[in-house]
Amino acid sequence: MRRRGLEDMTVADLVARFAEICLAQDDALLGGEIAKFNRLFGEMGGVATELKRRDGDQRRALMALYDHPNMQVRLKAAKHTLAVAPVEARQQLEAIASSRWYPQAGEAGMCLWNLDRGVFKPN
């Protein structure tokens, strides 16, 4: 049985896959599994690219993850929606940075710093 390709998945399936990847990434991060974390980073990018490719840029669907109980899921959803929902995504990043839930709070803070200085321009 072949694994279902991203192009065959519904938007809802892609959002669920994105969350799964984030959860696995959080486990890898906490376990010091850098190679696994990096591999998952690539998979996450693939899901985000597929959502962007869909008619009307479906990355906005990741906003459903803003209330996810896992901070890594919320962080990555916010970062991947900056181009399509900048105000809402920024609010999420500010809340995560203020939470002091590390390491995600640190990544959110650096993302905001880079946004404010024009170093990072979402697309």
10 domain-assigned:
yes
101 domain-assigned:
yes
With H, G, I as helix, E, B as strand and everything else as coil, classify residue 26: helix
Average pLDDT, the chain: 94
123 domain-assigned:
no
Provide the number of structural domains found in the chain. Answer: 1
Question: Which structural domain range is residue 36 located in?
Answer: 6-117
Position 4 scores a pLDDT of 67
C-alpha span between 74 and 63 (Å, rounded): 9
Q: Encode pLDDT of 14-53 as tens digits.
A: 999 999 999 999 999 999 999 999 999 999 999 999 999 9
Burial 42-61 (b: 16+ CB within 10 A, else e): ebbebbbebbeeeeeebbeb
1 domain-assigned:
no
60 domain-assigned:
yes
Task: Check residues 73 and 121 and name the one with the higher pLDDT.
Answer: 73
Full-model pTM: 0.91
Provide the CATH number for the domain around residue 15: 1.25.40.70
Contact 51, 60 (CB under 8 A): no
Position 2 scores a pLDDT of 44
Position 8 scores a pLDDT of 87
Integer angstrom CA distances of residue 42 from 48, 59, 64, 118: 10, 16, 21, 24
